[in-house]
Amino acid sequence: MGKGGFKIFPGQIEILDLRTLNPIDWEAIINSVKVHGRAFVLTEEPLLNSFAESLAGRISKECFQFLDAPVWTLGAANLPAIPLNVDLERMMLPNAEKVSTEIAKLLNY
């Protein structure tokens, strides 16, 4: 979403780009949840049995007392592979519009 998210949701969101998953910057995640009271986990992989779901579960468990809403997740549609057709690929993967819609739901929870 980049800087566009800051224009749509000024002062309401912080983007924490995890450069590595192992080791993961757990301290930065906890600090962000403490500040905002919410967490949104975005991935380009299908969510079913994904690292993103695992991370959302860990945030829910370890940051429960700081959360004002469920941990929100968004990922690709649960398909066996990314389609070769460009239009179908766009439908499958998260995009700025889908992310904005889900962030708005989370912020209004």
Residue ranges per domain, the chain? 23-107
CA angle 38, 1, 34 (to 5 degrees): 20
Tens of pLDDT, residue by residue over 5-63, are: 567 888 889 999 988 888 999 999 999 999 999 999 999 999 999 999 999 999 999 99
Using DSSP's 3-state secondary structure scheme, residue 73 falls into strand
Tens of pLDDT, residue by residue over 48-92, are: 999 999 999 999 999 999 999 999 999 999 888 778 888 888 889
Band (3; pLDDT cuts 50, 70, 90): very low
Does the bond joining 23 to the residue before it have cis omega, within 30 degrees of 0? Answer: yes
Q: How far is Cα 20 from Cα 37, in angstroms, rounded to an integer?
A: 23
Average pLDDT over residues 91-107: 93
Residue position matching structure tokens 């945030």:
59
Amino acid at the residue 35: V
CATH number of 23-107: 3.40.50.920
Q: How far is Cα 4 from Cα 98, in angstroms, rounded to an integer?
A: 13
